[in-house]
């Protein structure tokens, strides 16, 4: 099957499911699309269990599409740029200490806690896992997914200050999380890395990606400032994302962080250099890209369950992973915000809201699917999918009611 045919099938299926959700279920787009796709996939698996083999065509399609490569080296840069483009940098700057502490310290703490608990508890339920694989799972599941978080925030009308904190943390811990995952994966792959090598790799990826995004974002801003042609200016932003993401990967710096920083740069500086007409077209274009790719992503998350190799050990590990990740999320939020007591006081119930609003999404699944074949890959995949499904379908659905309840108590 050609790439065009694959894209046609995916877009057509996404449009059909989006119509069903908008017409009948009326759930938030991310939750509704994943739920419908997941129910459909589970139905196919159930029919397989009764000897009616109807899922093999869909499974072959999902395998051929290569979800991991499609997201990590295609959709991710566009989604992160679109999310960063609409973040208020002034608000983010006012909360920069909390956002930085949560994104960096919280993600590292969560990785360590999850890795340590999984290493100790899985053998107790009869599932063997190497220590480095346990921490690999901790690294890929710790970053909250900005795509899922931003999608839910749009649907619940969260207060501006809270939205900025949650969205800012999710955007940056996403980039930091990819860097941590890359570092742990290098260790798991057998590379001999000293503490100095690990620090150098982390700094090069993180600071290099941020610096690259700052430079390319500024260059793009200078270009749009020098003309007034909305078609060309939209093309410049598109080239900034796609070309910048590919270039960042080529020079081995963090492409996700580059996309985030360039998006913040364009979102902050470029609107003042654009005419009203151009600003309207650029804003509308990126909002449309964001909505369409989000719909595609959550549909794909729903059907990815078809390629998971189920077995008893994987299911037991998956059920254990959900409370472990939730507890680690609470700890990774509570420790930084308690340390920064004055910032916690500015936003009541921050720990509860950030814990329950820390959704996982397609990025974690893509990183899990990118792992090389090993004895524990299936277990990691199962745990990852269980946490993602729980966070989107349960936490995502109840986040709005939780916010309203806490607002009444504030």
Q: Where are the domains of the chain?
A: 3-63, 69-409
How far is it, in rounded angstroms, from Cα 114 to Cα 138?
5
CA nearest neighbour of 186 among 172, 202, 208: 202
pLDDT of residue 410: 59
> pLDDT of 254-265, one tens digit each?
999 999 999 999
How high is the pLDDT of residue 345?
47
Least Cα distance to 301 among 27, 6, 82, 40 occurs for: 40
The overall pTM is greater than 0.95: no
Q: Which two tokens stand for residue 18?
A: 């989006």
* pLDDT of res. 133: 93
Q: How far apart, in whole angstroms, are the C-alpha atoms of residue 361 and residue 149?
A: 9
Q: How far apart are CA 285 and CA 294, in angstroms?
A: 14
What is the maximum alpha-carbon separation in the chain? 65
SS3 253: coil
DSSP state of 327: H
Domain 69-409: CATH class, spelled out: mainly alpha
CA distances from 293 to 15, 76, 322, 395 (A): 11, 9, 27, 21
| Residues in the chain with pLDDT values less than 70 | 51-52, 54, 147, 150-151, 153-159, 161, 342-348, 410
Q: Which candidate, 92, 88, 26, 75, places its Cα nearest to that of 290?
A: 75
Question: Would you say 8 and 272 are in contact if contact means Cβ atoms under 8 Å apart?
Answer: no
Smallest CA-to-CA distance from 360 within 380, 390, 318, 328 is with: 390
């Amino acid at each position: 099957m050609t790439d065009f045919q694959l894209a046609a099938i995916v877009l057509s299926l996404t449009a059909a499911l989006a119509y069903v959700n908008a017409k009948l279920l009326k759930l938030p787009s991310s939750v509704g699309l994943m739920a419908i796709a997941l129910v459909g996939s589970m139905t196919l698996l159930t029919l397989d269990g009764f000897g009616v083999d109807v899922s093999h065509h869909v499974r072959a399609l999902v395998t051929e599409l290569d979800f991991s490569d499609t997201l990590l080296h295609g959709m991710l840069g566009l989604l992160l740029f679109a999310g960063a483009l609409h973040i208020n940098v002034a608000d983010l700057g006012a909360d920069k200490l909390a956002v930085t502490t949560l994104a960096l310290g919280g993600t590292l703490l969560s990785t360590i806690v999850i890795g340590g608990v999984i290493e100790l508890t899985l053998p107790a339920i009869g599932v063997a896992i190497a220590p480095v694989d346990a921490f690999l799972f901790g690294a890929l599941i710790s970053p909250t997914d900005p795509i899922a978080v931003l999608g839910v925030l749009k649907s619940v009308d969260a207060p501006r200050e809270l939205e900025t904190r949650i969205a800012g943390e999710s955007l940056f811990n996403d980039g930091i999380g990819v860097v941590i995952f890359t570092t742990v994966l290098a260790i798991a792959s057998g590379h001999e890395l000293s503490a100095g090598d690990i620090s150098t790799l982390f700094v090069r990826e993180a600071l290099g990606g941020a610096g690259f995004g700052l430079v390319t974002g500024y260059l793009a801003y200078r270009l749009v400032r020098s003309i007034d042609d909305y078609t060309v200016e939209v093309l410049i932003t598109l080239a900034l994302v796609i070309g910048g993401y590919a270039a960042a990967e080529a020079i081995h710096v963090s492409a996700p962080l580059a996309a985030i920083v360039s998006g913040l740069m364009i979102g902050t500086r470029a609107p003042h250099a654009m005419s009203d007409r151009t600003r309207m077209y650029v804003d509308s274009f990126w909002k449309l890209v964001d909505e369409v790719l989000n719909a595609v992503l959550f549909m794909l998350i729903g059907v990815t369950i078809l390629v998971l190799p189920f077995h008893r050990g994987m299911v037991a590990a998956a059920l254990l992973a959900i409370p472990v990740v939730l507890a680690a999320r609470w700890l990774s939020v509570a420790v930084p915000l308690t340390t920064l007591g004055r910032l916690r006081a500015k936003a009541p119930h921050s720990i509860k809201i950030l814990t329950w609003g820390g959704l996982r999404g397609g990025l974690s699944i893509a990183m899990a699917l990118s792992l090389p074949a090993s004895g524990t890959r299936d277990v990691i995949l199962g745990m990852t999918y269980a946490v993602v499904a729980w966070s989107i379908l349960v936490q995502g659905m109840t986040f709005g009611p939780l916010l309203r309840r806490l607002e009444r108590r504030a």
